[in-house]
Structure 1
Amino acid sequence: MPAYAIAQLNDVQHGPEIADYLLRIDATLAPFQGRFLVHGVEPEILEPGWAGHLVVIAFPDIAAARAWYGSAAYQAILPLRLRNSRSTAFLVQGVKKGYRAKERGESLMA
Protein backbone atom coordinates (compact mmCIF):
# COMPACT_ATOMS: atom_id res chain seq x y z
CA MET A 1 0.00 0.00 0.00
CA PRO A 2 1.26 3.49 -0.69
CA ALA A 3 2.48 5.73 2.11
CA TYR A 4 2.86 9.46 2.42
CA ALA A 5 5.15 11.91 4.14
CA ILE A 6 3.09 14.97 5.01
CA ALA A 7 4.29 18.27 6.40
CA GLN A 8 2.59 21.45 7.51
CA LEU A 9 4.97 24.38 7.22
CA ASN A 10 4.57 27.73 8.94
CA ASP A 11 6.71 30.85 9.10
CA VAL A 12 9.16 29.67 6.44
CA GLN A 13 12.19 31.95 6.30
CA HIS A 14 13.08 32.03 2.61
CA GLY A 15 16.82 32.37 2.23
CA PRO A 16 19.99 30.46 1.39
CA GLU A 17 19.36 27.51 3.73
CA ILE A 18 15.85 26.84 2.44
CA ALA A 19 17.12 27.22 -1.13
CA ASP A 20 19.85 24.66 -0.37
CA TYR A 21 17.26 22.29 1.15
CA LEU A 22 15.07 22.58 -1.94
CA LEU A 23 17.99 22.04 -4.30
CA ARG A 24 18.97 18.83 -2.47
CA ILE A 25 15.69 17.16 -1.46
CA ASP A 26 14.84 15.57 -4.84
CA ALA A 27 18.05 13.52 -4.74
CA THR A 28 17.09 12.18 -1.28
CA LEU A 29 13.73 10.95 -2.60
CA ALA A 30 14.96 9.12 -5.71
CA PRO A 31 16.42 6.00 -3.99
CA PHE A 32 13.10 5.44 -2.19
CA GLN A 33 10.83 6.13 -5.18
CA GLY A 34 9.44 9.19 -3.45
CA ARG A 35 7.70 11.89 -5.45
CA PHE A 36 5.97 15.12 -4.62
CA LEU A 37 2.18 15.14 -4.91
CA VAL A 38 1.77 18.55 -3.26
CA HIS A 39 4.60 20.98 -2.59
CA GLY A 40 4.38 24.12 -0.52
CA VAL A 41 0.89 25.22 -1.45
CA GLU A 42 -1.52 27.02 0.80
CA PRO A 43 -4.64 24.85 1.00
CA GLU A 44 -8.15 26.16 0.49
CA ILE A 45 -9.39 25.98 4.08
CA LEU A 46 -12.91 24.55 4.42
CA GLU A 47 -12.94 24.01 8.20
CA PRO A 48 -11.05 25.84 10.95
CA GLY A 49 -7.82 24.59 12.52
CA TRP A 50 -5.27 24.70 9.72
CA ALA A 51 -2.60 27.28 9.00
CA GLY A 52 0.42 27.21 6.75
CA HIS A 53 1.56 25.42 3.64
CA LEU A 54 1.22 21.75 2.77
CA VAL A 55 3.70 19.21 1.40
CA VAL A 56 2.72 15.64 0.46
CA ILE A 57 5.30 13.13 -0.79
CA ALA A 58 4.21 9.68 -2.01
CA PHE A 59 6.17 6.47 -1.51
CA PRO A 60 5.42 2.92 -2.64
CA ASP A 61 5.00 1.76 0.98
CA ILE A 62 5.56 2.77 4.61
CA ALA A 63 8.95 1.04 4.77
CA ALA A 64 10.23 3.22 1.92
CA ALA A 65 8.85 6.36 3.59
CA ARG A 66 10.55 5.48 6.89
CA ALA A 67 13.80 4.62 5.13
CA TRP A 68 13.78 7.96 3.29
CA TYR A 69 13.15 10.02 6.44
CA GLY A 70 15.84 8.16 8.36
CA SER A 71 18.35 8.16 5.51
CA ALA A 72 21.69 9.89 5.95
CA ALA A 73 20.99 12.01 2.87
CA TYR A 74 17.72 13.39 4.24
CA GLN A 75 18.96 13.74 7.81
CA ALA A 76 21.85 15.84 6.45
CA ILE A 77 19.46 18.44 5.02
CA LEU A 78 16.63 18.24 7.59
CA PRO A 79 18.24 20.82 9.92
CA LEU A 80 18.05 23.37 7.09
CA ARG A 81 14.24 23.13 7.15
CA LEU A 82 13.96 22.90 10.92
CA ARG A 83 16.06 26.02 11.47
CA ASN A 84 14.03 28.01 8.98
CA SER A 85 10.41 27.08 9.64
CA ARG A 86 7.95 25.90 12.20
CA SER A 87 6.70 22.59 10.93
CA THR A 88 4.93 19.36 11.73
CA ALA A 89 5.79 16.28 9.69
CA PHE A 90 4.46 12.75 9.83
CA LEU A 91 4.21 9.52 7.86
CA VAL A 92 0.94 7.82 7.12
CA GLN A 93 0.10 4.59 5.36
CA GLY A 94 -2.46 4.84 2.57
CA VAL A 95 -5.32 2.47 1.92
CA LYS A 96 -5.42 -0.45 -0.49
CA LYS A 97 -6.65 0.08 -4.02
CA GLY A 98 -10.43 -0.02 -4.15
CA TYR A 99 -10.85 0.80 -0.44
CA ARG A 100 -14.23 2.24 0.55
CA ALA A 101 -15.10 3.95 3.84
CA LYS A 102 -17.98 1.49 4.08
CA GLU A 103 -15.43 -1.17 5.14
CA ARG A 104 -14.47 0.88 8.19
CA GLY A 105 -18.11 1.65 8.99
CA GLU A 106 -19.05 -2.01 8.83
CA SER A 107 -16.18 -2.95 11.15
CA LEU A 108 -17.43 -0.40 13.69
CA MET A 109 -20.93 -1.86 13.58
CA ALA A 110 -19.77 -5.40 14.36
Structure 2
Amino acid sequence: MAAAYALAHLRRAPINAEVLEYLERIESTLTPFGGRFIVHGGAVEVLEGSWPGDVIIIEFPDLAGARSWYHSSAYQEIKPLRARHLTGEVILVEGVEADHDSVQMAAELRRAGSR
Protein backbone atom coordinates (compact mmCIF):
# COMPACT_ATOMS: atom_id res chain seq x y z
CA MET A 1 0.00 0.00 0.00
CA ALA A 2 1.39 3.41 -0.97
CA ALA A 3 1.70 6.31 1.43
CA ALA A 4 -0.56 9.29 0.85
CA TYR A 5 -0.12 12.99 1.41
CA ALA A 6 -2.18 15.99 2.39
CA LEU A 7 -0.67 18.90 0.50
CA ALA A 8 -1.54 22.53 1.08
CA HIS A 9 -0.42 25.61 -0.84
CA LEU A 10 -1.35 28.44 1.50
CA ARG A 11 -1.00 32.15 0.81
CA ARG A 12 0.92 34.10 3.40
CA ALA A 13 -1.10 36.19 5.82
CA PRO A 14 -0.37 37.87 9.12
CA ILE A 15 -0.16 35.38 11.96
CA ASN A 16 -2.86 35.90 14.57
CA ALA A 17 -4.24 34.17 17.66
CA GLU A 18 -6.49 31.80 15.67
CA VAL A 19 -3.65 30.64 13.40
CA LEU A 20 -1.45 30.08 16.44
CA GLU A 21 -4.19 28.04 18.11
CA TYR A 22 -4.56 25.97 14.93
CA LEU A 23 -0.81 25.27 14.93
CA GLU A 24 -0.92 24.30 18.58
CA ARG A 25 -3.78 21.85 18.04
CA ILE A 26 -3.18 20.24 14.63
CA GLU A 27 -0.48 17.80 15.77
CA SER A 28 -2.91 15.98 18.07
CA THR A 29 -5.38 15.53 15.17
CA LEU A 30 -2.72 13.77 13.07
CA THR A 31 -1.51 11.22 15.60
CA PRO A 32 -4.56 8.88 15.55
CA PHE A 33 -4.21 8.56 11.75
CA GLY A 34 -0.44 8.08 11.61
CA GLY A 35 0.06 11.51 10.07
CA ARG A 36 3.30 13.48 10.30
CA PHE A 37 4.58 16.70 8.81
CA ILE A 38 7.29 16.23 6.21
CA VAL A 39 7.18 19.85 4.94
CA HIS A 40 5.82 22.69 7.03
CA GLY A 41 6.41 26.09 5.48
CA GLY A 42 10.11 25.62 4.65
CA ALA A 43 12.00 27.72 2.15
CA VAL A 44 10.65 27.42 -1.41
CA GLU A 45 12.95 27.78 -4.41
CA VAL A 46 10.80 28.54 -7.46
CA LEU A 47 12.33 27.06 -10.62
CA GLU A 48 9.40 27.53 -12.99
CA GLY A 49 6.32 29.72 -12.78
CA SER A 50 5.36 31.48 -9.58
CA TRP A 51 4.58 30.17 -6.13
CA PRO A 52 3.03 32.71 -3.80
CA GLY A 53 2.82 31.23 -0.34
CA ASP A 54 3.91 28.27 1.71
CA VAL A 55 3.92 24.50 1.20
CA ILE A 56 2.71 22.04 3.81
CA ILE A 57 2.94 18.28 3.24
CA ILE A 58 1.65 15.75 5.74
CA GLU A 59 2.38 12.07 5.18
CA PHE A 60 -0.08 9.31 6.07
CA PRO A 61 0.27 5.53 5.80
CA ASP A 62 -2.42 5.43 3.09
CA LEU A 63 -5.11 7.46 1.34
CA ALA A 64 -7.89 6.11 3.56
CA GLY A 65 -6.05 7.40 6.63
CA ALA A 66 -5.46 10.80 5.07
CA ARG A 67 -9.12 11.06 4.14
CA SER A 68 -10.24 9.93 7.59
CA TRP A 69 -7.99 12.55 9.25
CA TYR A 70 -9.30 15.40 7.07
CA HIS A 71 -12.93 14.50 7.72
CA SER A 72 -12.41 13.70 11.42
CA SER A 73 -14.34 15.75 13.95
CA ALA A 74 -11.05 16.74 15.63
CA TYR A 75 -9.68 18.30 12.44
CA GLN A 76 -12.98 19.79 11.30
CA GLU A 77 -13.22 21.52 14.69
CA ILE A 78 -9.93 23.41 14.16
CA LYS A 79 -10.03 23.86 10.37
CA PRO A 80 -11.94 27.18 10.53
CA LEU A 81 -9.11 28.65 12.63
CA ARG A 82 -6.86 28.27 9.57
CA ALA A 83 -9.38 28.71 6.77
CA ARG A 84 -10.58 32.10 8.00
CA HIS A 85 -7.07 33.52 7.61
CA LEU A 86 -4.93 31.40 5.28
CA THR A 87 -6.40 30.84 1.83
CA GLY A 88 -5.15 28.37 -0.71
CA GLU A 89 -5.50 24.88 -2.07
CA VAL A 90 -5.58 21.66 -0.06
CA ILE A 91 -5.48 18.24 -1.71
CA LEU A 92 -4.99 14.59 -0.82
CA VAL A 93 -2.75 12.61 -3.16
CA GLU A 94 -1.66 9.01 -3.22
CA GLY A 95 2.07 8.35 -3.42
CA VAL A 96 3.82 5.65 -5.43
CA GLU A 97 5.16 2.30 -4.29
CA ALA A 98 8.88 2.04 -3.53
CA ASP A 99 9.42 0.10 -6.77
CA HIS A 100 7.69 2.71 -9.00
CA ASP A 101 9.25 2.76 -12.47
CA SER A 102 8.48 5.70 -14.77
CA VAL A 103 9.88 3.83 -17.80
CA GLN A 104 7.39 1.02 -17.20
CA MET A 105 4.64 3.58 -16.69
CA ALA A 106 5.47 5.20 -20.04
CA ALA A 107 5.39 1.81 -21.78
CA GLU A 108 1.97 1.05 -20.27
CA LEU A 109 0.66 4.46 -21.35
CA ARG A 110 2.00 3.88 -24.89
CA ARG A 111 0.24 0.51 -25.06
CA ALA A 112 -3.01 2.01 -23.75
CA GLY A 113 -2.80 4.87 -26.27
CA SER A 114 -2.34 2.52 -29.23
CA ARG A 115 -5.59 0.65 -28.56
Q: Give the TM-score range, shorter chain.
A: over 0.9
SS of match in other structure, 1:38: strand
Unaligned runs of 5+ in 1: none
The answer to whether 1:35 aligns with 2:36 is: yes
Deviation at 1:39, TM superposition (A): 0.1
Question: TM-score under structure 1 normalisation?
Answer: 0.95
Q: 1:42 to 1:9 in 2, by over 3 A?
A: farther
Deviation at 1:102, TM superposition (A): 1.1
Q: For residue 10 of structure 2, what is the aligned residue in structure 1?
A: 9
Q: For residue 98 of structure 2, what is the aligned residue in structure 1?
A: 97
- The answer as to whether partners of 2:12 and 2:54 remain within 8 angstroms in 1 is no
SS of match in other structure, 1:99: coil
Q: For residue 63 of structure 1, what is the aligned residue in structure 2?
A: 64
Q: Output the aligned Cα RMSD.
A: 0.9
- The answer as to whether partners of 2:29 and 2:75 remain within 8 angstroms in 1 is yes
Question: TM-score under structure 2 normalisation?
Answer: 0.92
C-alpha distance in 2, partners of 1:18/1:40? 14
Q: For residue 54 of structure 1, what is the aligned residue in structure 2?
A: 55
Query: How many pairs align?
Result: 110
Q: Percent identity at matched positions?
A: 44
Unaligned runs of 5+ in 2: none
Query: Which of 1 and 2 has greater Rg?
Result: 2
After superposition, give the CA deviation of every residue in 1:16-56 in whole Å (9 maximum; x if it has no partner).
00000000000000000000000012410000042210000
C-alpha distance in 1, partners of 2:23/2:104? 39
